[in-house]
Amino acid sequence: MTQSAQTSGRKPIKVDIAVCTYRRSELDQTLLSLAMLSIPMGVAIRIIVADNDVTPSARERVEAMRSAIPFEIVYVHCPASNISIARNACLDNASGHFVAFIDDDETASEDWLAELLATADETGADAVLGPVRAVYPNTAPGWMRSGDFHSTRPVWVGGRIVTGYTCNVLLRRNALSLLGRRFNLALGRSGGEDTEFFTHMEQAGGRIAFARDAWVLEPVPEKRAQLGWLAKRRFRFGQTHGRLLQEQSSARMKKVAVAASKAAYCFAAAGACAFMPIQRYRYGLRGIMHAGVVSGLMGVREIEQYGTLETTAQ
């Protein structure tokens, strides 16, 4: 925040930090990292924990953490196994000027929130994204660690960010592009609900900015440090993008032809990089994403990545 915003004597800027959780012991470390945040002067913090399990399995964990957290914690039980339900519960229970989302297996850097707020103040953007740095286990393949295939950063199109993600974001609650906006329940098990949310927000006139120093860390579990997991995730990304493309205009078969051509090019490039694993897998995964776009344009239902699958992986 600017110095004037901090010392002008106006009422505190209220920020709700939202954490959606589903049977993750890492929630403890997430909350402890929030306790260590450097909070700008004139900013008041409240934490919302949305438990997406069928039973309130995170309640005792949250209660045990209260004494270690210097902020109010609101626990919300919002079953079940649908991430959109949990994200919407956070929005419904938020009351601050801003709401920030962080995942329940991530840890925030000390200046995470301060950097997000500073960028929001400087740009006036409706949403501010931060980077997510992947932390790989020693068992992860060398090409995966060197190529950093799991970290998350925004993608610019024509000089602007046209969609976003919820693993590291600050939302301006009173922005016109966000009023009444909620996450699609139909995508709560497949994923892609955040891509759709931010795409529609941007199309409604909302601006998205990037705070490059507002980083969080995310450990990569061994079950995700596999080519198969990356391929499935990229394909689902493509399906979501294809469905959103179809929403925007007609000429479906032309878009299918373009996406198929891009997929073919990427697969050919992957073959040409047979002896360069990072480039080979990067091209290959991009080709899989474009194949997913074709699937989405053709109306194929998005694959489910969460719920039962995630339960066995946590």
Q: Would you say residue 7 has pLDDT above 80?
A: no
Residues 86, 83: Cα–Cα separation, whole Å: 5
Q: What's the confidence (pLDDT) of residue 302?
A: 72
pLDDT at 9: 57
Q: How far is 115 from 170, CA to CA, in rounded Å? A: 10
Q: How far is CA 12 from CA 41, 45, 47, 92, in A?
A: 9, 10, 16, 21
How sure is the predictor about 305, in pLDDT bands with cuts at 50, 70 and 90? low
Q: How confident is the model at residue 4 (pLDDT cuts 50, 70, 90)?
A: very low
Q: Are 13 and 5 in contact (CB under 8 A)?
A: yes
When pLDDT is averaged across residues 80-104 and rounded to a whole number, the result is 97
Delimit the domains of the chain by residue range.
Answer: 3-219, 227-313
- Among 52-61, 186-195, 276-285, 286-295, where is mean pLDDT lowest? 186-195
Mean pLDDT of 139-164: 96
CATH class, 3-219 region: alpha beta
pLDDT class of 306 with cuts at 50, 70, 90: low
Cβ 109 vs Cβ 129: under 8 Å: no
pLDDT tens digits along 164-208: 999 999 999 999 999 999 999 999 988 899 999 999 999 999 999
Q: What's the confidence (pLDDT) of residue 311?
A: 39
Contact of 24 with 51, CB cutoff 8 Å? no
Q: Is the pLDDT of residue 141 over 80?
A: yes
What is d(CA 262, CA 268) in angstroms, rounded to the nearest whole number?
A: 10
Q: What tens digit of pLDDT does each residue of 212-244 get?
A: 999 999 999 999 999 999 999 999 999 999 999
Distance CA 127, CA 209 (A): 6
Residue 158: its pLDDT value, please? 93
The answer to whether the beta carbons of residues 160 and 41 sit under 8 Å apart is no
Question: β-strand 107-108 against 156-157: which pairing, if any?
Answer: unpaired
Q: Is cis: bond before 80, omega within 30 of 0?
A: yes
* Percentage of residues of the chain with pLDDT beyond 90: 86
User: DSSP string covering 218-261, please?
Assistant: EE--TTTSSHHHHHHHHHHHHHHHHHHHHHH-S-HHHHHHHHHH
Please, are residues 75 and 51 in contact by the beta-carbon 8 Å criterion?
A: yes
Is residue 135 classed as helix, strand or coil in its secondary structure?
strand
* Averaged pLDDT, 160-165: 97
**What mean pLDDT, rounded, does the chain reach?**
92
| Rounded-to-integer distance, Cα 55 and Cα 21, Å | 12
Instruction: Kindly give, in sequence order, each residue whose CB lies less than 8 Å from that of residue 291, ignoring residues fewer than 6 positions away.
Output: 235, 238, 259, 260, 263
Q: Which two tokens stand for residue 108?
A: 């925030």
**Number of C-beta neighbours around residue 148 at 10 A:** 12
Question: In the prediction, which pLDDT does 309 show?
Answer: 41
Structure tokens at 283: 């091209």
Three-class SS of residue 64? helix
Q: What is the pTM of this model?
A: 0.91
What number of residues does the chain have?
314
CB 81 within 8 A of CB 22: yes
pLDDT for 313 beyond 70: no
